[in-house]
Amino acid sequence: MRDNTTTISAQEVMAQRGLARQIAARPDAPKSYHLTTFGCQMNSHDSETIAGILRDMGMKAEQDQEHADLILFNTCCIRDNAERRAMGHIIFTKEIKKKRPQTLVGVMGCMVQQGGAAGKLRDKHRHVDFTCGPGEIYRLPERIMHALEGRREAAFARGEDSTLYEGMPVMRKSPFMAYVTVMYGCDNFCSYCVVPSVRGRERSRQLSDIVAEAKGLVNDGVKEIMLLGQNVNSFGTDGAGPRFPTLLRALHEETGIQRLRFMTSNPKDLSDELIAEMARNPAVCPHLHLPAQSGSDRMLSAMNRRYTRERYDERVRALRQAMPHIGLTTDLIVAYPGETEADFDETLDLVRRTRYDSAFTFIFSPRTGTVAAELPGRVSPAIARDRITRLIKAQEDITREVFESLIGTAAQVLVEGPAKRGRGQVTGKTGRNIGVNFEGEESLTGQIIPVLITGQGSNTLKGERINT
Ligand code: SF4
């Protein structure tokens, strides 16, 4: 483990949990909460921990924000529109507090960890009662206590970003699918990204803690675990501990989990050893999210991604050689500063050659404090919109072709529940992470069912249950 990581002791975690119980006993303690989550899976999982802590405090989830005693926002600042959306919601709570002044408002997540953001919320948005950064979620009881006691300075202290802690309560959304964080933070400093400055440097959990958590989940009936980290491929490289392939093997051999997924993977750290483990480990799903960001070497270098297009293509070939039926998905940024039409053509070419199952596409969004925010050569909004439209269209065509090629094949589908449309239909995900709707009873929820793929919709496949 690196020197600057602060491992929070079990006593300290227990002290916070004790504080949670003390708060529950106070007559002025909030009894209900409303939590809004913005952003990625890391934030969704953080929100499960936040909900677990609030349950320790005796609070119940309230669907209607206006009736909640505590209103919480777990924010994201990865893109400008996510931050603006969160700010809009936070500002609106001022109206709620006019009607119910005793309501507490707390802001959590990456947004509060940006330099000066907590202070700005404290001074400019007086209706906000406290902040709590993503590296110090375990301190939520303390922050709520400070807010109840009116200790404003302490309630808005800037969060820690180098902690590693175990033993917090988690209130999971699904009884059969679970997130497990394997590492926090990122060391990569891609030029456009705020993550290293808001979530800190890489800190890997102990393999034994992760395996113990997974064992508990399997005992509780969990069928699929999604391992989370900003760059899971570098798990363990912040110390002398075992690396990611060893973790995957241990999870399969020691827990009996049926399905393992993981994200996110930086292509530069996708090793031969990891590919070999993915191919031989029966629990690892045949799907990989491998963010390319651009198909142009010039842009990849400007983004400080530290791989070339040639290396990315070679990793894709290695993956497909080891797992011919693997499905790939990706993230792509268009209109990065200095991106020319020729650079963009390289990205279109990457999409057409790699044939992703799907892609998350974004227009470059400058984030304060990043290298990219200061770069010249901004692409005009009109050109950016034109490029993203063309990119989305190219990917949609490929998705349709990929789906078409799957018709007539069999898939194992983990059923998530009734389909939104179509009575008597259930929906679930294949190992490749593609949604499938098929006729079936709601009681199949949580089971892995063999399905024959018979057709396609716009974003999902259609299937028929195979009787075994
Ligand atoms: S790998 Fe790059 S894009 Fe991903 S979190 Fe780290 S710095 Fe951000």
The boundaries of every CATH 2.40.50 domain in the chain are 410-465
For the domain covering 6-163, report its CATH number. 3.40.50.12160
Answer yes or no: is pLDDT of 359 > 70: yes
What residues line ligand 1, using a CB cutoff of 6 Å? 186, 188-190, 193, 195-196, 230-231, 266
For the domain covering 290-405, report its CATH number. 3.30.750.200
User: What mean pLDDT comes out for the span 412-422?
Assistant: 92
Report percent pLDDT > 90 for the chain: 87
pLDDT in tens, 112-140: 998 888 999 999 999 999 999 999 999 99
Residue with the bigger pLDDT between 166 and 329: it is 329
Answer yes or no: is pLDDT of 432 > 80: yes
CATH topology of domain 410-465: OB fold (Dihydrolipoamide Acetyltransferase, E2P) (2.40.50)
pLDDT in tens, 23-59: 999 999 999 999 999 999 999 999 999 999 999 999 9
In single-letter form, the type of residue at position 72 comes to L
Atom of ligand 1 nearest to the CA of 193: 8
Nearest alpha carbon, ligand 1 atom 4: 230
Ligand 1 centroid to residue 307 C-alpha, Å: 13
Give the helix/strand (H/E) hosting 413: strand 410-418
Q: Which CATH class is domain 174-285?
A: alpha beta
In single-letter form, the type of residue at position 335 comes to A
- For the chain, the 3-state helix, strand and coil shares in percent, each to the nearest 5, are 40, 20, 35
Ligand 1 centroid to residue 76 C-alpha, Å: 14
Q: Is the overall model pTM greater than 0.75, yes or no?
A: yes
Ligand 1 centroid to residue 102 C-alpha, Å: 40
With cut-offs at 50, 70 and 90, classify the pLDDT of residue 448.
very high
Ligand 1 centroid to residue 14 C-alpha, Å: 32
Answer yes or no: is pLDDT of 240 > 90: no
Answer yes or no: is pLDDT of 419 > 70: yes
Task: Return the pLDDT at 3.
Answer: 67
Q: Which pairs count as long-range contacts for 262-265, CB under 8 Å and 24+ apart, including other chains?
A: 262/182, 262/226, 262/227, 262/228, 262/229, 262/232, 263/41, 263/226, 263/227, 263/228, 263/232, 263/289, 264/229, 264/230, 264/231, 264/232, 264/289, 264/291, 265/231, 265/232, 265/233, 265/289, 265/290, 265/291
The boundaries of every CATH 3.40.50.12160 domain in the chain are 6-163
With cut-offs at 50, 70 and 90, classify the pLDDT of residue 366.
very high
Answer yes or no: is pLDDT of 61 > 80: yes
pLDDT in tens, 63-83: 999 999 999 999 999 888 889
